[in-house]
Amino acid sequence: MSNLYTLNIEQVVNGIKNGEFTSEEYVSQIIERIKKVDKKINSFITINDNALVQARQIDKKIRSGWTVDSLAGIVVGVKDNISTAGLKTTCASKMLSDYVPPYDATVIKRLKDKGAIIIGKLNLDEFAMGSTTEWSSYGLTRNPWNLDYVCGGSSGGSAASVAAQLCTASLGSDTGGSVRCPSSFCSVVGFKPTYGLVSRYGLVSYSNSLEQIGSIGRTVSDVKKIMEVISGKDTNDNTTIDTKNNNINNNHYDLEQNNNQKIGLLKELINGADEPVYQCIYSAIDKFNEFGFTSEESSLKSSEYALASYYTIATAEASSNLARFDNIRYGFELNPDDYEWNTYFSKARGNFGDEVKRRIIVGSFVLSSGYYGKYYLKAQRVKDLIKIELKNLFKEYDLLLSPTVPVLPFKIGEKIDDPLKMYLIDINTVLANLAGIPAISIPIGFKNGLPIGLQIMADEFQEKKLLDIAEVLEKSININTSYPDL
Ligand code: GLN
């Protein structure tokens, strides 16, 4: 069979189970395609040389009558800030250029336990700080739909590889939009769960109070299947919660009985979008109305302070989380005995890229004595305010809508020299991280060949409702039938 790389999770698992093709055939085709296509987009940092061996093991188990696991034989790409035992995890930083973790992140362990094969590690902005995947020490990742354009970030490799059909699905991390923004720019589905739904054990921390690991796929159904496996309590991450009663594993959300959904259109976020994005959002909203859902304008007044609050908290936490990279426990060849103390540290920490250095400096400043109350504390108060305001909105609305990103993908190099312009890209996505609520980006159209995504947010732990409704909308919009020609 040819073109196996086009298949979705269900088709891969069933195809292997029913003997239509082997796991080895599937993985071989994917590896061939990566070799051919990834030269153009640069979504991979490392390819797992063991993938074919693992595929053969699956084939062998199937031949000996094994009951096939739910993800058997699918090929998952992993953002390179999630630890994979025996497989380099660089965070796209020179700092960790040859770091090989001794253990698997919980999400990786759970995927492997269900038969998924980790195909490789995907490009990102260094330590997940950025919105375009241009800040990587391994070169930027290009948008598969137009190679002159950015692919979004920071999980750019995770979104571009799924769009380019180089893996069945992928994992990303989302601190302020890093799963959703590149998903929107690459026309794939990206989901950030409620804070605490997925274990962060093994995720290299950037801003630990805001981030979650999320999944990216070509359909909502694929994203759900990954989430079902990776979510749930983990004793290695005390912020995870037991999801037995309210997670996505339960039965389908009953849309027949719940077709009176009330949707809030976040006017500050929609009106702030560029014209083509704005137009596209309104045609998607018409589809919602066709299902009998009602929608009306709603307002989130505190949204104007969200970005400032996000960047204050995120940089503060980053400055503290990144303090551990001192080249002592891991790093490169630099002998502390050969240098005076300060010279040693500035040499070692000089290996961070410019954007990471900027975040560490800003973060140290907002936490410094005399400024703590003025910046960090205030940012935390805004965070609480946004949480309360959203909670109140969810008393009235089942879901809240906005564009995922207010602009179309733009040309490579266009914003890299202007950090504030770059930060503005995150204006709609940071809300869900500040409030800890689930949010998804689904593809809803194109303008001049460039993708546009719709963001749907729900109250905390309402992932089942959110994902099921996103699936209904995805089917009705039905734009996911074509893929970039690479
Ligand atoms: N662009 C945002 C930032 O640079 C979000 C990054 C992320 O979600 N990891 O902080």
SS3 letters for 237-269?
ECCCCCCCCCCCCCCCCCCCCCCCCEEEEEHHH
% of residues, the chain, pLDDT over 70? 96
Runs of H (alpha helix) within 291-418 = 306-321, 341-349, 354-367, 378-396
From the CB of 128, is ligand 1 less than 6 Å away? yes
Whether residue 425 is predicted with pLDDT greater than 70 in this model: the reply is yes
Distance 176 CA to ligand 1 centre (A): 5
- Structural domain contains residue 429: no
Eight-class DSSP state of 152: -
Q: Which atom of ligand 1 is nearest to the CA of 206?
A: 9
From the CB of 131, is ligand 1 less than 6 Å away? yes
Task: Output the residue whose Cα is nearest ligand 1's atom 5.
Answer: 176
- Structural domain contains residue 281: no
Left if phi > 0, otherwise alpha if psi is -120 to 50, otherwise beta: which for 367? alpha
The more confidently predicted of residues 255 and 46 is 46
Whether residue 245 is predicted with pLDDT greater than 60 in this model: the reply is no
CATH number at residue 162: 3.90.1300.10
Whether residue 421 is predicted with pLDDT greater than 80 in this model: the reply is yes
- Structural domain contains residue 38: yes
- Structural domain contains residue 235: yes
| Element housing 141 (H / E) | none
- Structural domain contains residue 432: no
- Structural domain contains residue 384: no
In the prediction, which pLDDT does 456 show?
97
* Token pair recorded at residue 300: 């989130």
Whether residue 49 is predicted with pLDDT greater than 70 in this model: the reply is yes
Q: Which atom of ligand 1 is nearest to the CA of 178?
A: 8
Residue range 314-321: mean pLDDT, rounded: 97
Residue range 149-170: mean pLDDT, rounded: 98
Query: Beta 294-298 vs 439-447: how paired, if at all?
Result: unpaired
Give the separation between CA 186 and CA 51, rounded to whole angstroms.
26
Report the candidate in 112, 136, 191, 199 with the shortest Cα–Cα distance to residue 159: 191
Helix-helix angle 106-113:220-230, to 10 degrees:
110
> Is residue 123 within 8 Å of 80, Cβ to Cβ?
yes
Amino acid at 27: V
Q: Which of 35-44, 84-93, 161-170, 280-289 has the lowest mean pLDDT?
A: 280-289
Distance 386 CA to ligand 1 centre (A): 18
On the question of a cis peptide bond just before residue 346, with omega within 30 degrees of 0, the verdict is no
In the prediction, which pLDDT does 258 show?
63
Residue range 69-88: mean pLDDT, rounded: 97
Average pLDDT of every residue of the chain: 94
From the CB of 422, is ligand 1 less than 6 Å away? no
What would the pLDDT profile of 249-307 be if each residue is shown by its tens digit?
554 556 666 667 899 999 999 999 999 999 999 988 888 788 788 999 999 999 999 99
Residue range 127-143: mean pLDDT, rounded: 98
> Is residue 161 within 8 Å of 80, Cβ to Cβ?
no
In the prediction, which pLDDT does 277 show?
97
Residue range 309-325: mean pLDDT, rounded: 97
In the prediction, which pLDDT does 247 show?
53
> Is residue 304 within 8 Å of 389, Cβ to Cβ?
no
* Token pair recorded at residue 484: 């970039």
> Is residue 438 within 8 Å of 466, Cβ to Cβ?
yes
The residues that are catalytic are: 79, 154, 178
* Token pair recorded at residue 412: 């490579």
Residue range 405-415: mean pLDDT, rounded: 98
From the CB of 462, is ligand 1 less than 6 Å away? no
Query: Beta 262-266 vs 399-403: how paired, if at all?
Result: parallel
What count of other Cβ atoms lies within 10 Å of the Cβ of residue 421?
14
Whether residue 248 is predicted with pLDDT greater than 80 in this model: the reply is no
| Element housing 188 (H / E) | none
Residue range 190-216: mean pLDDT, rounded: 98
Q: Which atom of ligand 1 is nearest to the CA of 173?
A: 9
Q: Which of 13-17, 124-128, 152-156, 251-255 has the lowest mean pLDDT?
A: 251-255
% of residues, the chain, pLDDT over 90? 84
Whether residue 139 is predicted with pLDDT greater than 70 in this model: the reply is yes
Give the separation between CA 362 and CA 370, rounded to whole angstroms.
14
- Structural domain contains residue 329: no
The more confidently predicted of residues 199 and 293 is 199
What would the pLDDT profile of 357-386 be if each residue is shown by its tens digit?
999 999 999 999 898 899 999 999 999 999
In the prediction, which pLDDT does 293 show?
87
| Element housing 47 (H / E) | strand 44-47
- Structural domain contains residue 309: no
From the CB of 80, is ligand 1 less than 6 Å away? no
Q: How many CA atoms lie within 13 A of 265 on its CB side?
A: 19
Which residue shows structure tokens 């990566």? 34
The domain in which residue 239 lies consists of 4-258+437-477
Which residue shows structure tokens 């699956």? 58
Domain count of the chain? 1
In the prediction, which pLDDT does 246 show?
52
What would the pLDDT profile of 447-480 be if each residue is shown by its tens digit?
999 999 999 999 999 999 999 999 988 988 877 5
